[in-house]
Amino acid sequence: MTPPAARPLVTRLTELVGCRYPVVQTGMGYVAGARLVSATSAAGGLGIVAAATMSLRQMTAAIREVGERTDAPFGVNLRADADDARERVDVLIREGVRVASFALAPRRELIARLKDAGVVTIPSVGARRHAEKVAAWGADAVIVQGGEGGGHTGAVPTTVLLPQVVDAVDVPVIAAGGFCDGRGLVAALSYGACGIAMGTRFLLTSDSTVGEEVKRVYLDGAETVVTTRVDGVPHRVLRTPFVDSLERSRLRLPRAIVNGARFRRLSGLSWAAMIREGRRMRHGRDLTWAQVLQAANTPMLLRAAMVDGRADLGVMASGQVVGLIEDLPSCAELIDRVMSEAHTVLDRLERLERAPRP
**Model confidence pLDDT, tens digit, residues 228-270:** 877 777 889 999 888 888 777 665 555 556 655 655 565 555 6
- What percent of the chain is modeled with pLDDT above 70? 85
Q: pLDDT tens, 134-171?
A: 999 999 999 999 999 999 889 999 999 999 999 999 99
Q: Is residue 339 part of a domain?
A: yes
Confidence class for position 3, pLDDT limits 50, 70, 90: very low
- The 3-state DSSP class for residue 311 equals coil
Query: Cβ(326)–Cβ(219) under 8 Å?
Result: yes
Q: Is residue 213 part of a domain?
A: no
Same domain? 273 vs 200: no
Mean predicted lDDT score pLDDT of the chain: 88
Query: Cβ(128)–Cβ(165) under 8 Å?
Result: yes
Same domain? 191 vs 116: yes
Same domain? 180 vs 238: no
For residues 95-124, average pLDDT: 95
Q: pLDDT tens, 303-351?
A: 888 998 988 878 899 999 999 999 999 999 999 999 999 999 999 999 9
Query: Cβ(197)–Cβ(179) under 8 Å?
Result: yes
Tell me how many domains the chain contains.
2
Same domain? 258 vs 341: no
For residues 58-80, average pLDDT: 97
In terms of Cα–Cα distance, which of 329, 326, 330 is closest to 219? 326
pLDDT above 70: residue 284: no
How much is the pLDDT for 294?
61
Confidence class for position 82, pLDDT limits 50, 70, 90: confident
What is the domain extent for residue 237? 222-306
Q: Is residue 214 part of a domain?
A: no
Q: Which of 7-11, 128-132, 282-286, 326-330 shows the lowest mean pLDDT across its residues? A: 282-286
Same domain? 50 vs 124: yes
pLDDT above 60: residue 302: yes
Query: Cβ(141)–Cβ(16) under 8 Å?
Result: yes
How much is the pLDDT for 133?
96
Strand extents, DSSP E, the chain = 23-25, 46-50, 74-78, 99-102, 120-125, 142-145, 151-152, 173-176, 195-198, 224-227, 235-238
Same domain? 342 vs 197: yes
